[in-house]
Structure 1
Amino acid sequence: MYDKILFHKGFILLKLLFILFYSTLLLASSQKISVQLEWKHQFEFAGFYAAIEKGYYKDIGLEVELREYTQGIDISDEVISKRATFGVSSSSLILDKLQNKPVVLIASYFKQNALALAVKPEITNVEQLRGKKIMALSYEIDHTSIGVLLKEGGLKDEDYTFIDHDFSIDAFKAGDVDAMSIFISNQPYFLDKEGVKYNILNPADFGIYSYDLELFTSEEFARKNSDMIEKFAKATNRGWEYAFKHKKEIIDLIYDKYTKTKSKESLLYEAEVTQKLFKTNIFKIGATVPELIKLNAQMYTSLGLVQDGFEFSKLLSSYIFENLKYSENRDFQDKNIIQNNIADLTYEEKDYLKEKKIITACIDPDWMPFESLQEGKHIGLSADYLDIFQKNLSVAIKVVKTDSWMDSLEFAKMRKCDILPLVMETNERKEYLDFTSPYLKIPVVLATRPNVAFIADFDNLDNKKIGIPEG
């Protein structure tokens, strides 16, 4: 009996030693990386804290160090020079790219910039700031949406008195300045707590769009470590999902482990506003949206920091991580998939095509860049795909001339054409058409006039007129 007890204790001890050895081995094999933050510790970086605390980074073999911002640091240079593995930047990251810095965007979190102007309650528009005192950072005037707001409001530098920001609400509270730059996730809490009356001039409300909280790395690191970056981004996004579902837990973590600069109450206010700025009801966490990037690039053009006329699609090919990762083999893969699918035909299908000899197609004659008929010639994306189909089928495809998309649908109903190369499946159309699996996915977006504010929520469309193609 005594021997059995000794054996049992020895087995437990051996098991504990094995667990300790295995844990030490895992720790030793973890890859150490660093993330340079764009500001001090606060809920703005909650996803990173959660991913560390819940072991999401550890699960993929990463030991992550978060570095607070210190005065004078250029975040892009920190990453490009390899002093930091990753960086978290503001909307100015696209400006760095436009100025030929080798930065690569991995994930984009704030879908609306938190930067705005708090103004005295009697001020309701930009013109009323003429002759007033504005407290801000010079960088904000020269490089952000606030600068565009003032410029498009007709104000030049000499039209107002610039006061360098002291990072306090005291001057605004005392009435020494008429406006001050704020982050809507931060200062309104303190203004409300002090009972200060104010209005907010938010660039987004004036159709001036920019974003914030951009996770990035250097182009060199991205090309050499694509698998690790993909896992790191997924772990970070997972951290954000957890942080939003467990705000109070992460706020306790920030307060107890990282900083006591802000109260838990103010951190909760920041957390609620931050989640709204992520716009998770529209975008996936971390999604990179080319249309939003383009709006931001246009902002810097408006500020005169870059020349207009840059080739945007070429810019995105090396700026967005997913584009960089797949750019070299995407075209080959797409064509190869199509060719393999066409080659996999039954004998009956091949005999049918042999007897058919010519396939007739109806298109939308005026839908560029997707498809069009110009001087009797079929052009656009569908023309390129039909060329690929013809080469692999060894059967000619002839486009039947129609005057409109509605005519093309009628021709299809009357069997005057065999196929519609670009048509969306609907219940009505399924009554007279069979549909393949999609070979081209095209996002549907809302287009507005330049002076219309960015529409990030369908609630903003109340009482608006929307035009859509007939059919």
Structure 2
Amino acid sequence: MKFTNGLRTLTTMGAVTALAIGLAGCSGMSDTGSGGQANPANENCESVDKVTVVLQWLTQAQFAGYFAADDKGYYADQCLEVTIQEGGTNVVPNQVVASGNAEFGVSLLPRSLASREEGADIKLISQIYQNNSYLQVAWADSGFTELADLKGTTLGAWGGGNDLTLRAALAGSGINMDTDVNVVQQPFDMSLLLNREADSVQALTINEYAQLLETVNPETGELYTEDDFTMFNLQELGYNTLADGVYAQGAWLEDEANQDIAARFLAASYEGWAFCRDNAQECVDIVLQRGSALSATHQLWMMNEVNKLIWIDNGTPIGTVNPDDFERTVQIAIDGGTLKAPASESDVVDSSAHDAALKLLDATGVDVIGAGFEPIEVTLTEGGK
């Protein structure tokens, strides 16, 4: 990597700017894709750092905070030009970051722990989602009342490591996923359940569960309701694993200038997420303008559910890593076979940029805790239109 020296001025940050003064600016790693175009930095910046963040999936409200930070000029105010690169089935953010082709990546902790165990030099610098959203869903007429009732049934699962939490939860209910159920490969939709080709299927509260409620019941001509389904919330059963967090290359973070870049990226991203907390509909509009394939109402549902995962009113700021949640995730990853050996939080997590980001935001009035957050009411429509 090449480095260029130069002071930067963040006029909107007031006295907090002193934290950034004197640090060298990084020219950024190579651009790896044709994701969202970066907005130009604030004209008051004496130097600009160009960086890329790679998402773990396609453009949708799951990542709205980053799009909002770009659209509202928060990255620009931090003297950053940020390219937001879509993920997908063939894009692994951890690998992109570890190889030096993006400064930041968004990924799940279990996957990231496995990547580290395989040799990827990545660090968790911010834990955006405080809760996960895994469900196992069946028809209400199935008669299932507890997870143990799924023994001997046909069960839809995503595989590819996406069934890790389910595997652990089933084991906790005395079910070996390899021998006690008939597992069928589940696409990332609800077709197996709707066609009654499986007795239960995986879903996320932020996405697939809404697909069920956006489907018309052919017997009534009305949309299905929650009363039509039995839902097992794996988090409420004690199997909460840490989901979307921000990762950076460990070697890259060793440079003081890059820690400064990371702090400014997180500060702007936190401001973007806070904006989405308070302006869900506008954030959905921003995501739709970026070319999301999902429909407007579905995206609003997702935005509302994502906010519930981030702003949990536990008195800690956005981005904080809860030690208990970290340890639980590690144990579930080990029990599920994703991880071979325990991982230490001190080895995996580098909170320096997170702490500096919070200091940068101290002077701005941005609410990084969201104690008063209240979810909105979302009325789903057929197909999420």
TM more than 0.5: yes
8 Å contact 2:130–2:312 — kept in the other structure? no
Q: Show the counterpart of 2:183.
A: 162
8 Å contact 1:117–1:201 — kept in the other structure? yes
Q: Does 1:192 align with 2:213?
A: yes
- Residues 309-352 of structure 1, C-alpha deviations (whole Å, 9 max, x = no match): x4x6xx333322226999xxxxxxxxxxxxxxxxxxxxxxxxxx
Q: Does 1:281 align with 2:313?
A: yes
Q: Does 1:119 align with 2:138?
A: yes
- Whose helix proportion is higher, 1 or 2? 1
8 Å contact 2:56–2:106 — kept in the other structure? yes
Q: Show the counterpart of 2:74.
A: 56
Say which SS state the counterpart of residue 44 (structure 1) adopts.
helix
8 Å contact 2:78–2:264 — kept in the other structure? yes
Q: Show the counterpart of 1:265.
A: 297
8 Å contact 2:41–2:48 — kept in the other structure? no
| Closer, same or farther: CA 324–268 of 1 in aligned 2, 3 Å | closer
| Closer, same or farther: CA 178–55 of 1 in aligned 2, 3 Å | same
Match for 1:320 among 346, 349, 364? 349
In structure 2, give the amino acid aligned to 1:87: G
Aligned mates of 2:157, 2:79 — CA distance in 1: 42
Say which SS state the counterpart of residue 273 (structure 1) adopts.
helix
Aligned mates of 2:353, 2:284 — CA distance in 1: 36
For structure 2, the residue ranges without an aligned partner over 5 or more in a row are: 1-39, 216-222, 356-385
- Residues 3-54 of structure 1, C-alpha deviations (whole Å, 9 max, x = no match): xxxxxxxxxxxxxxxxxxx989779943221111011111111110111011
Say which SS state the counterpart of residue 306 (structure 2) adopts.
helix
Q: Show the counterpart of 1:46.
A: 64
Aligned mates of 1:53, 1:141 — CA distance in 2: 31
Identity of aligned residues (%): 21
8 Å contact 1:51–1:235 — kept in the other structure? yes
Q: Does 1:96 align with 2:115?
A: yes
Match for 2:167 among 131, 140, 147? 147
- Residues 295-317 of structure 1, C-alpha deviations (whole Å, 9 max, x = no match): 11111122244456x4x6xx333
Aligned mates of 1:304, 1:250 — CA distance in 2: 37
Q: Does 1:67 align with 2:88?
A: no
Q: Show the counterpart of 1:129.
A: 150
Give the alignment's Cα RMSD to 1 decimal: 2.5
Match for 2:253 among 208, 222, 241? 222
Match for 2:266 among 218, 229, 233? 233
Q: Show the counterpart of 1:207.
A: 238
- Tell which has more relative contact order, 1 or 2 (C-alpha 8 A, sep 6+): 2
Query: Aligned runs of 1:69-468 on 2, under 5 Å?
Result: 69-92=87-110, 93-98=112-117, 100-121=119-140, 122-140=143-161, 144-156=164-176, 157-194=178-215, 195-196=223-224, 197-224=228-255, 225-259=258-292, 261-282=293-314, 283-307=316-340, 310=342, 315-322=344-351
8 Å contact 1:131–1:161 — kept in the other structure? yes
- Residues 241-268 of structure 1, C-alpha deviations (whole Å, 9 max, x = no match): 0111111111111112331x22211111
Aligned mates of 1:289, 1:67 — CA distance in 2: 28
In structure 2, give the amino acid aligned to 1:127: A
Aligned mates of 1:123, 1:242 — CA distance in 2: 40
In structure 2, give the amino acid aligned to 1:272: N
| Closer, same or farther: CA 199–306 of 1 in aligned 2, 3 Å | same
1:188 Cα deviation after fit = 2.1
Q: TM-score, normalised by structure 2?
A: 0.72
For structure 1, the residue ranges without an aligned partner over 5 or more in a row are: 1-21, 327-471
1:86 Cα deviation after fit = 0.6
8 Å contact 2:259–2:352 — kept in the other structure? no
Aligned mates of 2:289, 2:90 — CA distance in 1: 27
Aligned mates of 2:229, 2:101 — CA distance in 1: 42
Aligned mates of 1:107, 1:24 — CA distance in 2: 25
8 Å contact 1:44–1:274 — kept in the other structure? yes
Number of residue pairs matched by the alignment:
299
1:60 Cα deviation after fit = 1.7
Say which SS state the counterpart of residue 46 (structure 1) adopts.
helix
1:105 Cα deviation after fit = 0.9
Specify the structure having the higher radius of gyration (Cα): 1
1:139 Cα deviation after fit = 2.2
Aligned mates of 1:240, 1:256 — CA distance in 2: 17
